[in-house]
Chains A and B, each alone.
Chain A
């Protein structure tokens, strides 16, 4: 490809794709904020681990439920 070929192709492309308005017409922050607020609250992994551990303990030692109920 010669330099002249490259220039011709660039000119043809520039004519086929006219300049585009690159200005953002509105503020996107309100939409971002809505998305942040809509985000479901996620439980961290250590909370799940605690729930799992408690379930295992209660299954293995059912009397612990009574001990827990007494202390609540």
Chain B
């Protein structure tokens, strides 16, 4: 990463911020949309992330990792979004062009699994989304959350345990 660019960004040069925005906006969006699974909300959250990055530019150390710092800010915003979002809303965000339902997992079951998953505490939901659905490396998730790999694994474990309990109560056993 260009140290001069980061130094210019840290002192508030708009040109440097523009270059960083263009370089990282796609990466930030991709990270957020994996968590919130809603393209509109992810775009808004990406904008907010970039805005916060600019406002917090004085706290950034130019010899640090800009991408990791941006991802941490994005992750916090995405978690706040999951906290605010009601589980029912998640059902409306089926991605366009999604493949037809798998015959093994019927539509109704999928809907129930989605709903129960959306009802998990935000931090558990986020860790499980990134680790199990998006299959992101645990190290990357831990870095974005500012925690350890062990803590992420524990969150995923707890998410799966809670989800299994809730699904069992509904008579659903993942096969």
Q: Which A residues contact B (CB, under 8 angstroms)?
A: 1, 5-6, 8-25, 27-29, 31-33, 35-36
Contact of B14 with A by CB under 8 A = yes
Q: Is the interface of A mostly helix, strand, loop or mixed?
A: helix
Q: What are 17 A-to-B residue pairs whose CB atoms are below 8 Å? A: A8-B174, A8-B175, A9-B132, A10-B133, A11-B174, A13-B113, A13-B133, A16-B110, A16-B114, A17-B133, A18-B98, A18-B99, A20-B34, A22-B33, A28-B43, A32-B21, A32-B50
Shortest A23–chain B CB gap in Å is 7
A28 to B23, CA, bound (A): 11
Q: Which residues of B contact A10 (CB under 8 A)?
A: 132-133
The one of B39, B114, B175 in contact with A17, judged by C-beta atoms closer than 8 angstroms, is B114
Q: Which B residues contact A (CB, under 8 angstroms)?
A: 14, 17-18, 21-22, 25-26, 29-30, 33-34, 37, 39, 43, 46-47, 50-51, 54, 95-99, 102, 104-105, 109-110, 113-114, 117, 128-129, 132-133, 157, 160-161, 163-164, 174-175
Q: A12-B174, A13-B117 are in contact. Are A18 and B95 (CB under 8 A)?
A: yes
A20 to B43, CA, bound (A): 14
Q: A23-B30, A28-B21, A29-B22 are in contact. Are A15 and B43 (CB under 8 A)?
A: no
Q: A15-B104, A16-B117, A18-B95 are in contact. Are A1 and B160 (CB under 8 A)?
A: yes
- CB-based nearest A residue for B21: A29
The answer to whether B25 and A28 have CB atoms under 8 Å apart is yes
Given contacts A10-B133, A13-B113, 8 further A-B contacts (CB under 8 A): A9-B164, A16-B117, A20-B33, A22-B29, A24-B30, A25-B39, A29-B21, A32-B47
